[in-house]
Amino acid sequence: MNDIASIRNTRDLVSVSVGGDCFTRDPDTGSRFGSGVASATEATDLDFRGKTSVYLVMVGRNAKTQCSMSYKAATKKDIARPNYKLMTDFHKNRNAGCMLALLMLTAFAHSQDVPSKISAEADRLQASVKDISKADMAELAKNVAGVAADTKTAIKAGHTYAALETLGRAFDLAGGLGTVSEKESTAGRSLSAFESEWGQVTLELTSLDQKAKNRDWSKAPAAVRALAEAAHGRTLTLMEGGRGFATSTKPADGLFYVGQAQGEAEFSSFLYKLGAMRQGTPVGLRSVLAEIESLQQKTNAAFTPPRSIEMHPRFIALNSALKFARELDSSRDYAGALYIYLEAVRHYGMLDAMAVDKQTQARLTSALAEALQRNSASKNDDSIVRILLERASGYLHKPAGEAATPDEWKATQVVLEQVVPAYYAALKPAVPLQQRAGRTATLTLVRWPYT
C-alpha cells in the first residue's frame, strides 16, 4: 500500500496506517497513543502537520449513505489541515461500517513512489550481476546482492535516505563488475586498448559533468542532492585511479575503476530523476571549508603513535573524507561537501570512542528515536543529517533481532553527540579562516581513490 493511508474507525480512537505501519491518534486532540515501529509515524505525521494535502474517501458497507456528509465536508478548503472534528463525527457513527482512506495528492504523494523505485533499482542491479561466475568476480557479485538486500531492508524500515546511500554502493560495484565482464576481452587485452576505452568514457563523463552543473535541485531534499553531488564528484577521480591501476598492474584492473566511475555517474543521474520532493524549508548551504580545515588540524594533531599505527585504516578513511569534502567544497557542491564533512566528523569521533555499556545503550536507543522524531517534525529540510541518523537506526534495529556490534554502538554515540551538533553548527554563518603564519606543508596519506 504505497499511495494510500487508511483510517479505521473504532469505538474511541482513529487508527492510521501508512505502508503497513500503524499508529493510533485521538481524533479530537491528535495525540498519538503508540506505534509498533518508531519510524512508522514519520510519513503520516506529515499530513497531520498540514504539509500534505489529502482527500477523505469513504469505502465500505453503507458508505455512500451513512458517510456522505463526511465525504462532502472533505472539500479542498479542508485539505490543508485535517478536520479532526469531521473524523470524530464519523467515528462516533458506530453503525456506518466505513473506512476512511487518505489519498495523497501533493508533494509527499509524489514521493510515495520513491521507495518502490529504490527497491526496483536494487533488484535490477542484483539481477545484472547474478550470472557472473568468474572466480575473482563472484565474491563481488555476492556483495552487490548483499548491498541490494540491505537497501530493501532500509526501505522496509522507512529509512529512505539510508537506503539511497546503500543503493549508491550497489551502483558502484555493479558498474565495475559489468564493465570488466563486458570489456575485459577487448579493452582489457592491452594498455592501448584500455587507453582507447578510457578516453571514450572520459569524454562521456566530462559531458555529463557539464550537464550536472546545470541541474535544478530547488525542489529536491538536500540529502538527495548531497548524495548525487558526492557520487558525481567521485567519477573523474575513479577514472584517474583506473588509469593508474591499468598502468601499474594490468588493464583489466583499470577497467573495474572505469566501471565504478560509470556506476557513480549513473547513480547521480538516478537521484536527479528520482522525483523525491523536499518537505521542509530549504536550509542555507554554504562553504564548510573553515570546518574542514579545523578538523584537518585536529586530525593531524591526533596522528601520533601508537594510535596512528593501531588505527591506521581509520586515519586513511578520515583523511580521504576530508580531502573529498574539500574537493566538493571547492566545486561549490555544498550539499555534498556538508555530507562528506559530517562523515569525516564521524570518523574523527571514532578515534576516541569508548565501549558502550548496557545502561548507555538504553540511553542511546531512546536518544536516537527522539532525534529522528525531532528531525521528522522539523520545519526545515534537515535531510542531510538524517542520512546518518537513519544509518545509526539501522545499526540498532536489524532484521531478525541481530545485535549491534560494539563499533556500531560507538558510531551511534558519535552520530548523536558529535555529528548532529556539527551539522547544526555548519548551518550557522561561517567562521573566517585563520591565516597560518609562515610556510607550512601538509602531507595527507590516503588510499587513492577513495577506496
Same domain, 68 and 195: no
Q: How confident is the model over 371-418, as pLDDT tens digits?
A: 999 999 999 999 999 999 999 999 999 988 899 999 999 999 999 999
Q: How confident is the model over 39-53, as pLDDT tens digits?
A: 222 333 333 233 333
Same domain, 265 and 394: no
Burial of 235 (0-12, 13-18, 19+ CB in 10 A): buried
User: Comparing 104-118, 148-162, 213-227, 437-451, which segment has the lowest mean pLDDT?
Assistant: 437-451
Residue 277 cell numbers, joined = 520532493
Q: What is the share, in percent, of the chain residues with pLDDT greater than 90?
A: 63
For residue 430, what pLDDT band results from cuts at 50, 70 and 90? confident
Predicted local confidence at residue 69, as pLDDT: 29
For residue 72, give the H/E element and its range: helix 68-73
Predicted local confidence at residue 12, as pLDDT: 30
Average pLDDT over residues 222-231: 98
Q: How confident is the model over 356-378, as pLDDT tens digits?
A: 999 999 999 999 999 999 999 99
Q: Is residue 434 part of a domain?
A: no
Predicted local confidence at residue 131, as pLDDT: 84
Burial of 29 (0-12, 13-18, 19+ CB in 10 A): exposed
Q: How confident is the model over 57-104, as pLDDT tens digits?
A: 333 333 332 333 232 333 333 333 333 333 333 333 333 333 322 322
What is the rounded distance in angstroms from the CA atom of residue 337 to the CA atom of residue 322? 9
For residue 6, pLDDT over 60 is answered with no
Where is the domain boundary, 111, 126, 155?
A: 111
Predicted local confidence at residue 13, as pLDDT: 29
Predicted local confidence at residue 157, as pLDDT: 94
For residue 134, pLDDT over 90 is answered with no
How does the average pLDDT of the chain come out, rounded? 78
Same domain, 189 and 301: no
Where is the domain boundary, 111, 146, 161?
A: 111
Q: Is residue 436 part of a domain?
A: no
Q: Is residue 449 part of a domain?
A: no
Same domain, 75 and 142: no
Same domain, 250 and 311: no
Predicted local confidence at residue 399, as pLDDT: 86
For residue 31, pLDDT over 80 is answered with no
Q: Based on DSSP, count helices (H) and strands (E) in the chain, helices before strands.
A: 20, 6
For residue 111, pLDDT over 80 is answered with no
How many independent structural domains does the chain possess?
3
- Reduced to 3 DSSP states, what percent helix, strand and coil does the chain have, rounded to the nearest 5? 65, 10, 30
Task: List Cα–Cα distances, 2 to 111, 211, 254, 277, in angstroms.
Answer: 10, 32, 42, 16
Q: Is residue 433 part of a domain?
A: no
Look at residues 130, 213, 217, 215 and name the one whose alpha carbon lies nearest to residue 177: 130
Domain extent at residue 250: 114-273
Q: Is residue 279 part of a domain?
A: no
Task: List Cα–Cα distances, 192 to 197, 244, 447, in angstroms.
Answer: 9, 14, 26
Same domain, 54 and 137: no
What is the rounded distance in angstroms from the CA atom of residue 99 to the CA atom of residue 75? 18
Predicted local confidence at residue 440, as pLDDT: 58
Same domain, 238 and 348: no
User: Comparing 68-77, 87-96, 176-185, 237-246, which segment has the lowest mean pLDDT?
Assistant: 68-77
For residue 261, what pLDDT band results from cuts at 50, 70 and 90? very high
Same domain, 268 and 353: no
Where is the domain boundary, 211, 245, 273?
A: 273
Q: Is residue 439 part of a domain?
A: no
For residue 367, give the H/E element and its range: helix 358-377
pTM confidence score: 0.74
Predicted local confidence at residue 438, as pLDDT: 57
For residue 439, what pLDDT band results from cuts at 50, 70 and 90? low
What is the rounded distance in angstroms from the CA atom of residue 54 to the CA atom of residue 40? 18
Same domain, 409 and 293: yes
**What's phi and psi for 284, nearest 5 deg?**
-80, 100
For residue 210, what pLDDT band results from cuts at 50, 70 and 90? confident
Q: How confident is the model over 281-329, as pLDDT tens digits?
A: 999 999 999 999 999 999 999 999 999 999 999 999 999 999 999 999 9
Same domain, 380 and 309: yes
Same domain, 53 and 76: yes
* SS3 label, residue 429: coil
* SS3 label, residue 353: coil
Look at residues 230, 335, 333, 325 and name the one whose alpha carbon lies nearest to residue 282: 335
Long-range contacts of 206-209 (CB under 8 A, 24+ apart): 206/236, 208/232, 208/235, 208/265, 208/269, 209/235, 209/236
Average pLDDT over residues 338-365: 97
More confidently predicted of 22 and 165:
165
Q: Is residue 207 part of a domain?
A: yes
Q: Is residue 284 part of a domain?
A: no
Same domain, 132 and 267: yes
